[in-house]
Structure 1
Amino acid sequence: MFDPRNGGDYADLIDESVKAMRASALTSERVVRALNANLNHQDGAKPQGHIPYGFQREYAMTKVKGKTAMRPVGQMPDPETAPLVIELFRRVKSGHSFLSIARDWDKRTITSRGGIPFSAQSLRAMCVRKAYIGKRVHREDGEVFEFDASWPVIADFPGSPMKPAAFVTLFKEVGNLLADPARQTVNPGAGKHEYTGALKCDVCSGPIKVSTKTTVPKYTCRDQGCVVINKEGVDRVVQGVVLGYLVREDVYAMVAPADGGAELEAVRSPLAAKRAELAELETAPRPQGARAKVAMLDMIDELEGEITELEERETRLTPGPSPLAELFDHGPDIEPRWKATPVEVKRQIAALLLSTDGPLGQVRVMRVADSESDAVTDRLRWVTTD
């Protein structure tokens, strides 16, 4: 503990703060340097972050500055899941709705790598992912840059039901279809409000809907009518918190998987110890005698196997690109840009931020009787899993 009233502690506190700032700056430089190296690789932009559905990664042990680590060296179509991606594009081009495809895939037990059924929203996001046509997209300072990737088109694999060039054409046709303002994929009146999907009733935990039966729109409990509250006031409070979060530059940076923090640290500690042990063995004098040499080689092989396993876990838990950066760009004039953002995208951002395991917590509407007052701020409860 530091006591700022103590001169020595105050000096140490300032010194540690400067060191922390420098360490943060060095980490930022390393991340940017690695990102630029991946984007400008001579063989095309290298893969980084989450693996798009339909692809599989190839990993290899590489040495960088004397350190051995498991690193991705390639990305290729997965013969088992790539045909499903092609099926998705073909069905959308034929006029199938994302909801009908999601329901069909759920019946066929087609899920993501994590075993989660695909939603209509996730299928739509797949249909605009340029990784499927061998491109990598990078966003920086509000601008979007596109690079030729080092991986092939998703249809470029033995036994593919489609030629790569034909899939590129199909991808563009689906993109034009989705960009058509006349396209309507939801029932009239559905999904018109950015926060209805994120708000919950604090009494029954049911969803919240918008009621326009009165002259002033209200949020009300959809299932049992437990709560009623002024919509404009809630929107003003929630939007203020959301924009206060979106204005921060750090939230668009690299983020770890939902449960990766503590687990990642638990992996890195023994990994560092085993690397040090391996380095010590490799630099130690070779023992005399065949048995001793064999025993030493066995120890090295065992350590290398353990290190490989730990590095694979470290790779899975290593921070990847923030999903928020794919929906909304950091920059100035956040309020007018938020106002111009489509409601569908706002709802996706709200779902990402306003949940029990999200950074802002789930917004629950309380009854007046359970609140300190009838003010909107007193009737909203922000709930997290912590």
Structure 2
Amino acid sequence: MPTTIFTPADVQPPVTSPDYLHAAAPTAAAIFTGRAYLRVSKDRHGRMRSPQQQNGEIEQDAAALGIILGDPYTEREAVSASRYTTKKRDGFAELLAELQTDSFGADILYLWESSRGSRRVGEWVTLLDLLEERGVLVRVKTHGRTYNPANPRDRRTLLEDAVDSEYESGKTSDRIRRDVASNAAEGRPHGAPNWGFKAVYDERTGRLINWDKDPKRAPIIWELFDRLKKGHGFMRIAADWEARGITNKGGKPFSPQHLRDLALKPTYTGLRVHKGTLIEAIWPNIVDRATFWKVQEILAGPKHQNYSPRAGRAVHEFTMIIKCDVCGNGIAVSHTKGTRYRCQVKGCVRLADKDGLDEILRAAIWDYLSRPDIYETIAISPKETAELQKIADDLAKLRTELRKAESDEPESVSEAKMMGRLIEKLKTDIGTKERRELELTTPSALRDLMAPGDDIERRWKAAPIETRRKVASILLTPEYLGEVRVTRSPVAGGRVPAAARIRWVRKASAT
């Protein structure tokens, strides 16, 4: 600690004195040293002082009093001093640590205002105890006073400030919670807008009013949902966006996982989530409700349940869609002795004429999608559209209830049994809804992926492999063209054409 003519602990002015420094020695040449604690304030309106502003005013005050200032303690980010925050203040922790190890190295702790120190009474008491032990005074700039934590009256004043600050912090926290709950019930936005939206503030008060579509980013969000609906994969979209220079808020390219996170956000279809409940929002939707729920159905499918960035890298149109006629498992491509089809699980069947089978399947799909009557086959009536919307809403609620039921911890055996019955019922209801949704959406999915028309061959060849595979997985089923099964070769060791090795399994009513 720097040398002084007298130490702060020796200064015992009358309790009526306005300030220890002024009362200490108008006649003594005292040299005091100080260090400031500067806390970042979260305030977009500019009413609070920034660390630079706080430090500037403290330096002016110190110069007027002849106090030599050392390096300040400064928070690196805006962290609340209240007891409601979960983050730690690194600058404050450093201050306490140096007081505990007696390496503070100054006579005075400078604060811009007492609430800059802490709004937690317990934390504030710890600080005052350490200051008292080390004989360090507290200078509060906005009070224009210096306090001695060893003096009972000064200590009471500082503690009253802490109690008042904690009380005000509590009232603020309660008000914020009420506002958040009220905003949620009314579908109002809260916090920073998702990518694709922009915040709209009141010009007079600076308060958040709503979110609105970002004219540059909103069309890109719509593109994401539209491409997912049409069968594009996340890796393909991410690579395309990176090539076009589309970046996230941090200026970095979107990863496939980040794109998936965006696609799951109900905010894009005008819904707000509050405590697991979907609420109609006041902001405009970027994506229509039907498209949003269709994408959710796709992402909830088996292919996306355990999503990894490498998912969706299939390079062949019909692998695992066509089946082995012996065991019923999927047929995949094998490159042993050339490129051929082979039963993936047991190797029951092998077909050397892969190209021949692919040509047969493409021709069947192109012929089917070029027929004019197929428009009517895949169309959904207005009544079915309304039913589909209700199913989507019901499924969202049921899935939310299921997640909550599965995460709750039962407190007794009877409660566990009751929750078990509830979970089973929810799963049954979800399964029923999903089956009906599949009945309604399969034709529309086909329409969205690849609408029928004369130029189907050109559009098929231009479509991404993911889209072609999804169309094939719909059409090569018993309900449509028929499930394709590869049979065993009738000639041992012979090369039999593909047309003689396939069996079409169709329903009686299939077209």
After TM superposition, the score normalised by the length of structure 1 is 0.38
Which fold has the larger relative contact order, with Cα–Cα distance below 8 Å and residues 6 or more apart in sequence? Answer: 1
TM-score by structure 2 length?
A: 0.30
